[in-house]
Structures are given as C-alpha cells and as structure tokens.
Amino acid sequence: MPDRITMKNALVEIDGDEMTRVLWGLVKEKLLLPYIDLKTEYFDLGLENRDRTDDAVTSESAHAIARLGVGVKCATITSNADRKKEYNLKALTPSPNATIRAILDGTVFRKAISVKGILPTVSTWKKPIVIGRHAYGDIYKNAEMLIPGPGKVELVYTAADGSEKRILVADMKGSGIVQGIHNLDDSIKNFARACFLYALDEKLPVWFASKDTISKTYDGRFKDIFNQIYETEFKEKCNAAGISYFYTLIDDAIARVVKGEGGFLWACKNYDGDVMSDMIASASGSLAMMTSVLVSPSGAVEYEAAHGTVQRHYYRWQKGEKTSTNPTALIFAWTGALAKRALLDNTPELGAFAKKLEDATLKTIEEGEMPGDLARLAQNAPSKVLNSWEFIDAITKRL
C-alpha cells in the first residue's frame, strides 16, 4: 500500500482473548493497517499460547516493553478452574497483567474518555477523575493458605544475617484462612513519584487515601512515604504549578469523590485502584470508555483498555451474532501507544494520525452513531445503534 505512514521504531503488540481479540484484529485491519506501515513486536497472550509456553510468553512481552519503551495490550483471560476446563489447560497461570506489572513495577493511570452527549451517572461530575493505581504487591503478590484446624499462625522475618523476628497473626480456634502480603519502600516511592509527575503533566490536584487508622504499620507506611516524596521532591514544583496534595482516609475519599466535581488524580493502593476504577468507569458512562496506561519508573509505558475480554459478548459472537461491543477504549489504547511512539521517535506524522483517529471516533459517537452500551446513556436518542463492525466502518468514513 503506498503512502502509508512509516514508523521509526517498533512497539510491543500484545494480543489477547475472546471478544477483545476479535475486535483487535478488526481495529488493525480497518483503522490502522490502511494508514500505517505498522512496526510491532507481536506477542500472543491468548490463554492457549500462555498455556503452551508455560506462561513464558507473558514475561517475554513485559521485558520487550522495557526494551522498546512502548507497548499496547489487548484484554486477557485470567485463568481459573472454569477456564481450565473450558480451554483444557495444563495448569492455571497467574494474571498476565499482574505478571507484567510486577516486572515493570509501574503505576496504572485510568481515565474515562469523555464524549459530548454522554453524561456520567453521577450528576455532580463535571471533569474526569483519573485513578492512579499502584501496580505492585499487596494481594496481587500474596501467599495464602487454608488452615485445616486449630493452631498458631505466625509471621516470621528471617534477615540476611539469619536473625529472626516473629509476631503472632492468630491463635486459630478452628479451620480458616490466612494470607501474607508485602510491599517495598522503593516501589511505594516510585508510585508516589509517578503520581506527582502525571499530576504535574496534566495539571491535576492529587488525592491519596488508605486505611492507616486500622493498618497503622502497613498503610501507615504508604501514607508516610507518599508524604515524604511530596515534601522532599515535589512540594515546590506543585506549589509553583498550583497543584495541591491531600491525604485522607479511604472511606472519606469515597464520600468526597461521589460528591465532588472531578478533575483530580486519585492515587490508590493496588486493590483500591482495581475496584474503584471499575466504579469510576461505570459511573462515568461505560466500562468501554476507560483508558489505562501503565507507567514504569524507567519511563516504559503500556496502554490497554481497562475492561476485560467481554466474555458474554464473545459467546454470542461464536454463535454468529454481530455483537455491539464497544471498541473505543481499545482504539484509544492503540492511539495512546502510537502517540507515545511518535513522541519518542520524533515522528509528528504518526502523532497526528493518532489524534485524527481519536477525533474520528469521538465524532462518530457525538453525531449519533454508537454501540449499544452508549446508546443507553445518550442524552438525545442516537440516530443509529451500531454493531462493532458498523461502528468501525462509521469511524473509517470520518477518518
């Protein structure tokens, strides 16, 4: 194909599962390949290939992002007992996102894509709320155990010199469960830095919340480190840019978030960010309108849609239905990665294309042609509810 935009350097392309895998191919075929001579290092993280490679492909893809600096990822199945049966797997593999995040040690920023005519469920929200999710440790790197019967559970730390520290977790009166979690000072510091850097870039105030009243040592450490990084590295820059930082308890934060008008970066611990980003995404409109970018301390970035593989739609697609699955966040994952590649490589043509594709997508929705999830929310009834294929064609027309 003549006249396609060329890329100086490759980016990492990570394919995934189910309905998002179907849309991935479609987005590439219709919206990218006709315009760009795509240069990617491709990794197939579809569940079957992860199983075939004993999950080696997942770590390889993360190391490739560290090397090339930019990646884009499709949603992937996190395997469980049902999936093991469904896909006839050798073994259960860990969540690919957790593996990638652990290798890149990053912070995930999630932001809803706003479109004219689609109002958030929370009527006070005027501006997007960005979630900054710490992407290392806590329950995502836990050790847990079923306790069969009465006995003592202890936490033991053996220092490098062999000395020991131990505390009692519980004197169990009967069977139950136990879990050990951890985090690292360095990772928390990088989390705080990533948040303040993002906030300075986007001119947003920063909120951080945890449960330090109950978890005085664990969450208390998060609070202290965040504060220390702010005071020693960012306070002056934030003051100069008119950006405030404020810490509160997680329950207080939630009350304020729902009553506020948005327009801030909400820094969340790993689990809080996981749960709250789905709440923010759904309340902002649709899960399919939430973008997600993982920023590692080295500067490497990975873009994805915040939603999963849209399993229910996939089963309907397998039966022949042309589902109305919304590809917007997937498209924005690609445009985010292409724009970043353009910035790093100094290839403004590529950056301009990414912007045009985003504009064409938003314009399609704003002009009343949209998938079903948005049609339900549209202020004015849409002129057309489209399936994914028709929606992508409608974008192509404007592109």
- Please select the residue that binds ligand NAP; options are 237, 312, 355, 376, rule is CB under 6 A: 312
Rounded-to-integer distance, Cα 235 and Cα 227, Å = 10
**387 near ligand NAP (CB under 6 A):** no
Shortest CB 314 distance to ligand NAP, Å: 9
Site for ligand NAP contains 75 (CB under 6 A): yes
Total interface residues for ligand NAP by CB under 6 A = 17
Amino acid at the residue 26: L
| Stretch of 58-66, 72-80, 218-226, 243-251 lying at the interface with ligand NAP (CB under 6 A) | 72-80
User: What angle separates helix 348-366 from helix 388-398, to the nearest 10 degrees?
Assistant: 120
Strand stretches in the chain, DSSP E: 5-6, 11-15, 36-37, 40-44, 70-73, 107-112, 130-134, 143-147, 151-158, 164-172, 176-180, 206-210, 245-249, 265-268, 290-295, 301-305, 369-370, 384-385
DSSP-assigned letter for residue 118:
B
Six token digits for residue 117:
């005519």
Contacting residue, 55, 212, 274, 369, with Mg ion by CB under 5 A: 274
DSSP helix/strand/coil, 298: coil
Least separation in angstroms between CB 196 and ligand NAP: 25
Q: Which of the choices Mg ion, ligand NAP, none does residue 105 contact, using the CB cut-off of 5 to 8 A by kind?
A: none
Q: Which one, 238 or 310, has the nearer CB to ligand NAP?
A: 310
Q: Which stretch binds ligand NAP (CB under 6 A): 73-81, 121-129, 198-206, 239-247?
A: 73-81
Closer Cβ to ligand NAP, 7 or 11, answer by number: 11
- 30 φ/ψ angles, rounded to the nearest 5 degrees: -95, -35
Question: Which of 21, 110, 307, 340: binder of ligand NAP (CB under 6 A)?
Answer: 307
Identify which of 349, 305, 334 has the alpha carbon closest to the alpha carbon of residue 70.
334
The distance of closest approach from Cβ of residue 133 to ligand NAP in the complex, given in angstroms and rounded to an integer, is 12
Residue where the block lists tokens 């809803």: 112
Q: Which is nearer to Mg ion, 64 or 287 (CB)?
A: 287
311 binds ligand NAP (CB under 6 A): yes
In the list Mg ion, ligand NAP, none, the entry touching 227 (Cβ below 5 to 8 angstroms by class) is none
- Letters for 161-180 (x = contact with Mg ion by CB under 5 A, - = none) are --------------------
Which of Mg ion, ligand NAP, none has residue 288 at its interface (CB below 5 to 8 Å by kind)? ligand NAP
326: contact with ligand NAP by CB under 6 A:
yes
322 touching ligand NAP, by CB under 6 A: no
- Which of 76, 25, 81 has the alpha carbon at shortest distance from 50? 76
Q: Which does 13 bind (CB under 5 to 8 A by kind): ligand NAP, Mg ion, none?
A: none
325 binds ligand NAP (CB under 6 A): yes
Among residues 78 and 387, whose Cβ is nearest to ligand NAP? 78
Q: Least Å distance between CB 304 and ligand NAP?
A: 6
Residue 189, both tokens: 């510091």
Is residue 47 within 8 Å of residue 89, measured between CB atoms?
Answer: yes
Q: Please, which residue, 40 or 291, has the CB nearer to ligand NAP?
A: 291
Q: Find all residues with CB under 8 Å of 157, minimum gap 6, and list them.
A: 164, 165, 166
The answer to whether residue 50 forms part of the interface with ligand NAP (CB under 6 A) is: no
Q: Rounded to whole angstroms, how far apart are CA atoms 48 and 89?
A: 7
> Comparing C-alpha atoms, which of 29, 85, 67, 106 is closest to residue 303?
106
Q: How far is the CB of 159 from ligand NAP (least distance, A)?
A: 37
- Residue 138 found at the interface with Mg ion (CB under 5 A): no
Q: Which does 190 bind (CB under 5 to 8 A by kind): Mg ion, ligand NAP, none?
A: none
How far, in Å, CA of 239 to CA of 97, rounded?
35
Between residues 18 and 274, which has the closer beta carbon with respect to Mg ion?
274
* Whether the Cβ atoms of residue 327 and residue 31 lie closer than 8 Å to each other: no
Q: Taking the CA of residue 23 as centre, how many other CA atoms within 13 Å lie in the half-sphere pointing to its CB?
A: 34
**Which range, of 76-84, 192-200, 240-248, 377-385, touches ligand NAP by CB under 6 A?**
76-84
Q: Are 51 and 89 in contact (CB under 8 A)?
A: yes
Q: Name which of 15 and 373 has its Cβ closer to ligand NAP.
A: 373
Helix (H, G, I), strand (E, B) or coil at 260: coil
Give the residues lining the site for Mg ion (CB under 5 A).
274
In the complex, the residues that contact ligand NAP under the rule CB under 6 A are: 75-78, 97, 287-288, 304, 307-312, 325-326, 373
